[in-house]
Amino acid sequence: MSADGPERAHAFKKGGHIVIVGASLAGLRAAETLREEGFTGSLTMIGDEPDQPYDRPPLSKQVLLGMVPAEHTALPRRREIDADWRLGVPAIGLDLDAHRVRLADGQEIGFDRLLIATGVRARPWPNENERDLDGVFVLRTNGDAARLRRRLAARPRRVLVIGAGFMGSEVASACRELGLEVTVAERGPVPLVGALGGVIGSVVARMHREHGVDLRCRVTVTALEGDPSGRLRRAHLSDGTAIDVDAAVVCLGSIGNTEWLAGSGLAAGPRGVACDAGCRAFDVNGIVTDDVFVAGDVARAPNPLYEYNFLFLEHWGNAVAQAEVAGHNMISCGSARRPHLAIPAFWSTQFGVSIRSVGVPTFADEMMVMQGSLEERRFVAAYGHRGRVTAAVAFDQAKWLDFYRELIMAAAPFPPSFVPVDRPPVMRSMSPEFPDPALPSHGATVTITGHLPNDQRVVFTPARA
């Protein structure tokens, strides 16, 4: 059944079959939106994890601190969704022409429309032998969090955090709050440099050190060494030093869960599934599909405010907003469809500081501290790209960000010319100090084959990670 015209759309809404692959935040909110907006057909929820949808942000905070058990973060429901749940069984294949999803247990499930919301997973430690040492952890699922929490509760002598992005910084913060010795090894010059730039990263570096973190920047971990029984005991760093550790938390970012889409003909790779602003997936040729939608961390969608760049956002709020748009558009047609235009926003809590961001800080060539002071860790900084405001970051100053969001939406000039309350003595524009984009990235490579226009096709080649 297709849903192009209003009549067909109506019939689809009444009796169609929707399959959602990915039973986490985005999948759940999309399902709720479908029901909320009157979808009465059948709905199948497929998830590789055995649990009902649960929330992940508390895993690196409340759960590690022991305030909340790892299995206690199930997401509240906005409404009943009356779905056929297939949990604990991953999808392993998609046949676009036949409209069928293949599951790991051999089942095949047909659909009229499909939503891909498979999210991302933690990038594992690259060395497979070292990865399996007892004491090496990643943190993405509630199972990961439970294991890591158990280890932290057993009070290891020293924890090594590999990578000082948001996850690494939050883990380090939790360890210090638990009174554990912790070393953070970061390839870049300061923590969070990739997300917020070196200027603000330096503020975070001071937060680490003042809270007793042994922060080591510009180093990588070259090897994890185990004892004969397979327990982690030492880490070797690129500066030639070695440290004795009982636990290592690998915080090297994430990878899109898209392997199951290999060969499906969709534009899917380690950096997600490309889709349009209405959440419709692109096929590998860059042509938009009709019946396959994408939402959440796995989606890579163009944002008009950022020069139509495809943004791959692992943001909680983005997952919710995009899922709502996807759900709406799956049962709407033509002009009733909506674009996903939410301004990206994220938060992190570490070392007792609330870090908030609106816009896309990495989309910037300049920044300026507008309010407060970096030294006191209470400030708002605006980011600019080619003379307009593209982002703002606040430390413990969240109440002002609505204003900066409006500046971003209005493409207000950068640097801003006004004088705000609590302005620093000197207001000047500076480089945010983002790393050179030529640094190794983990993206997929695309090549075009064929010579005649009718033959030309795009193919993915394996990532060069």
Partner 1 sequence: MTPDTMLKRITDYGSRADPYPLYAELRKTPVARQEDGTYVVSTYWEIHSLLHDPRISSDRRNLAGPWADPDIEEEDATLPPSMIRLDPPAHDRLRRQAMRPFGPPHSPEYVDSLRPELAGIVGGLIDGFEGKGQVDIVDDFAYPFPVTVICRILGVPREDEPRFRDWVDLLVSTLDLAAWDDPAERQRTAQRARLELGRFLGELVAARSRKPGDDMVSALVTGHGPDGPMSQLELISTAVLLLIAGHETTVNLITNGMLTLLRHPHVLERLRREPELAVGAVEELLRFEPPVHLLPQRVTLADIEIAGVLIPKGAPMTLVLGSGNRDPLRFDDPDRFDPERRDNQHLGFGSGIHTCFGAPLARLEGQIALVELARRLQNPRLVADPPPYRQNPVLRGPRHLLVEIDGIAP
Partner 2 sequence: MRLVVDLTRCQGYAQCAFLAPDVFTMHGEEALLYDPNPDDAQWDRVRRAAAACPVQAILVDQTEIPATAQEGTHVR
Q: Supply the minimum distance, in Å, between the C-beta of residue 419 and partner 1.
A: 6
Out of 240, 418, 437, 454, the residue judged to bind partner 1 by CB under 8 A: 418
Judged on CB neighbours under 10 Å (0-12, 13-18, 19+), 288 is: middle
Candidate segments 73-81, 83-91, 96-104, 235-243, binder of partner 2 by CB under 8 A:
73-81
Rg of the chain, C-alpha, whole Å: 23
Where do runs of H (alpha helix) occur along 267-345? 316-330
Q: Which does 354 bind (CB under 5 to 8 A by kind): partner 2, partner 1, none?
A: partner 2
Interface pattern 329-358 for partner 2 (x via CB under 8 A): ----------------xxx-x--xxx----
Contacts of 97 (CB under 8 A, 6+ apart): none
DSSP state letter for 96: T
Which residue from 362, 398, 364, 365 is spatially nearest to 380, judged by alpha carbons? 398
Contacts of 345 (CB under 8 A, 6+ apart): 315, 317, 318, 356, 357, 358, 359, 401, 405
The CA–CA distances, whole Å, from 320 to 55, 86, 153, 288 equal: 12, 21, 33, 22
- Residue 79 near partner 1 by CB under 8 A: no
Encoded tokens for 69: 């058990």
Residue with tokens 């040492």: 133
Contact 316, 57 (CB under 8 A): yes
- Residue 315 near partner 2 by CB under 8 A: yes
- Residue 24 near partner 2 by CB under 8 A: no
Contact 179, 259 (CB under 8 A): no
Out of 35, 42, 51, 57, the residue judged to bind partner 2 by CB under 8 A: 57
Separation between Cα atoms, residue 265 and residue 139, nearest integer Å: 31
Candidate segments 30-38, 94-102, 132-140, 372-380, binder of partner 1 by CB under 8 A:
372-380
Q: Which is nearer to partner 1, 76 or 240 (CB)?
A: 76
How many positions of this chain bind partner 1 (CB under 8 A)? 16
Contact 184, 213 (CB under 8 A): yes
Interface pattern 398-417 for partner 1 (x via CB under 8 A): -xxxxx--x-----------
399: left (phi over 0), alpha (psi -120 to 50) or beta: alpha
Q: Supply the minimum distance, in Å, between the C-beta of residue 57 and partner 2.
A: 7
Separation between Cα atoms, residue 170 and residue 149, nearest integer Å: 13
Q: Which does 79 bind (CB under 5 to 8 A by kind): partner 1, partner 2, none?
A: partner 2
Out of 24, 33, 44, 62, the residue judged to bind partner 2 by CB under 8 A: 62
Out of 399, 423, 457, 464, the residue judged to bind partner 2 by CB under 8 A: 399
Out of 95, 259, 396, 433, the residue judged to bind partner 2 by CB under 8 A: 396
- Residue 143 near partner 2 by CB under 8 A: no
Candidate segments 89-97, 221-229, 286-294, 367-375, binder of partner 1 by CB under 8 A:
367-375
Out of 80, 106, 421, 440, the residue judged to bind partner 1 by CB under 8 A: 421
Q: Which is nearer to partner 1, 229 or 418 (CB)?
A: 418
Chain residues binding partner 1 by CB under 8 A are 370-372, 378, 380, 399-403, 406, 418-422
> Which spans of this chain sit near partner 2 (rule: CB under 8 A)?
55, 57-58, 61-62, 65, 67-68, 72-80, 315-317, 320, 345-347, 349, 352-354, 396-399, 401
